[in-house]
A and B are shown apart, each in its own frame.
Chain A
């Protein structure tokens, strides 16, 4: 069964770091474009970052220079390293699989909540 399972969320102070994980099963993360999308409480969806099957990564301006997307093919897991966290980064973070090549998201994880607060 195809599944994405995020972990690593929690309460963190402003300026600190956190690393989110997205463990995939049922497919290989290296064979698909994979993205992170977040949703602030009561707000809409915001795309953050993508890693292409070839390994290239791209970021939204809101997180560029602070967040880093990587993957471990041996663990079939994506990571989102989040540094210099701000209150406005508080959100549920979802990983999502691209069903094509920069196409649609056909599978999403259940999300992990990150709260940035002192």
Chain B
């Protein structure tokens, strides 16, 4: 199985300040089809997860441009350029290059 390791476990951020979350996979997520199967989700309190980023760096429909993703191979990063109050929740990375699909352990973001 592909193990996804996220750091840090939690972040406390002042509104308007940036935040960064790391995700490392135990295997390369670059497929022979040229796509990298790495995704980012945000789970707000009491809600199901929502897709933020797909294929490393593509923002899903309606996702603000303060969210950006980067990385390649096995190392990936989600950045929030200026954290807002509505960004609180738990962020998960996920790989789908192979079954079983696996998620990182999550990073809880709270506002100072």
- A residues with a Cβ closer than 8 A to B are 35, 44-47, 50, 58, 60-61, 94, 96, 99, 102-106, 108-111
Please tell me if the beta carbons of B54 and A103 are within 8 angstroms of each other in the complex: yes
Given A103-B37, A104-B54, are A50 and B99 neighbors across the interface (CB < 8 Å)?
yes
Residue of A nearest to B52 (CB): A104
B7 at the interface (CB under 8 A from A): no
Interface size on B (CB < 8 Å)?
23
Given A103-B37, A104-B96, A106-B60, are A47 and B51 neighbors across the interface (CB < 8 Å)?
no
B100 at the interface (CB under 8 A from A): yes
Please tell me if the beta carbons of B99 and A58 are within 8 angstroms of each other in the complex: yes
Q: Which 6 A-B pairs have the closest CB atoms?
A: A108-B48, A47-B101, A45-B103, A104-B54, A60-B100, A44-B106
Given contacts A47-B100, A105-B39, A108-B49, 14 further A-B contacts (CB under 8 A): A44-B90, A44-B105, A45-B43, A45-B49, A45-B92, A45-B94, A46-B103, A47-B103, A58-B100, A94-B49, A96-B48, A102-B96, A104-B39, A110-B47
CA–CA, A55 and B54, complex, Å: 25
Please tell me if the beta carbons of A47 and B92 are within 8 angstroms of each other in the complex: no
